[in-house]
Amino acid sequence: MRYSNDGFLGLFALTIISIFILGSSTSSYTFRVGGKDGWVINPSEDYIHWPQRNRFHVNDSLYFKYKKGSDSVLVVNKDDYDSCNSNNPIQKMDEGDSLFTLDKPGPFFFISGNLENCQSGQKLIVVVLADTHEHSQSPSQPEAEAPIANWPSGPNSPVASPPKHSGSTSVRGLRVALVSLSVLVLRTWGGFALQQVGLV
């Protein structure tokens, strides 16, 4: 009898610990703009298709890899994006290897500070999805490259482009599954344990 109670308590404790660990998980990612090529004129995947295959959420970050003095990244409005106007940027990043945090839902417009580069296609639109709290989104297919755990991870270390993600929706879904499992364990093993000690 003692063995079945210990098994029940161990499984229940493991389930509760898993829920707390998942609850503390972060759902923000750092995306490397331009993939392995970085912020260049002709990346291996162009700046039109790259953002279309990713889902961006509030508090995600964009990592622009470029050499200081050879290029810059400007955050601009839509009109300045369309015309490659670098005269009135909302924000200018020109220190090389820049990190930009997506702090609100909606579109963000980025252009190269070099007019010729911008006119050659070195510009990017990223649309940040609104936080849906507990509303589910359809999960996306994982890709081969993983999200960045820490930025930067070391001198000259590569930064991977993260997979498309649906924010913390997958974490929430896993939490729901673990809670359901806990309820099932409590009903099954809890009832059995109560029968064993003569309370039912």
CA distance 111 to 191: 63
Indicate whether 29 pLDDT > 60: yes
Q: What phi and psi values does residue 30 have, to the nearest 5 degrees?
A: -115, 120
Residues in the chain, total:
200
pLDDT per position as a tens digit, 39-91: 999 998 899 999 999 999 999 999 999 999 999 999 999 999 999 999 999 99
* DSSP secondary structure code for residue 174 in this structure: H
What does the DSSP assignment read for 113-169? SSHHHHHTT-EEEEEEEPP-TT---PPPPP-SSPPPSSSS-STT---PPPPP--TTH
Residue 131's pLDDT is 76
Mean pLDDT of 19-48: 79
* Lookup result for tokens 């003095």: 69
pLDDT per position as a tens digit, 137-183: 333 433 333 344 334 433 333 344 444 444 444 444 444 444 454 44
CA distance 92 to 69: 13
CA distance 58 to 38: 22
pLDDT per position as a tens digit, 97-116: 999 999 999 999 999 999 99
Q: To 10 degrees, what angle do helices 169-185 and 2-23 make?
A: 160
Indicate whether 35 pLDDT > 70: yes
Indicate whether 119 pLDDT > 80: yes
Residue 150's pLDDT is 39
Tokens of 108: 């963000």
Closest CA to 58 of 27, 80, 36: 27
**In 2-43, alpha helices (H):** 2-23
Burial class (CB within 10 angstroms; exposed 0-12, middle 13-18, buried 19+) of 123: buried
Residue 77's pLDDT is 98
Task: Give the residue extent of every domain in the chain.
Answer: 30-128
Q: What phi and psi values does residue 172 have, to the nearest 5 degrees?
A: -60, -40
Mean pLDDT of 177-195: 51
SS3 category, 85:
coil
CATH of span 30-128: 2.60.40.420
Query: 159 or 120: whose pLDDT is higher?
Result: 120
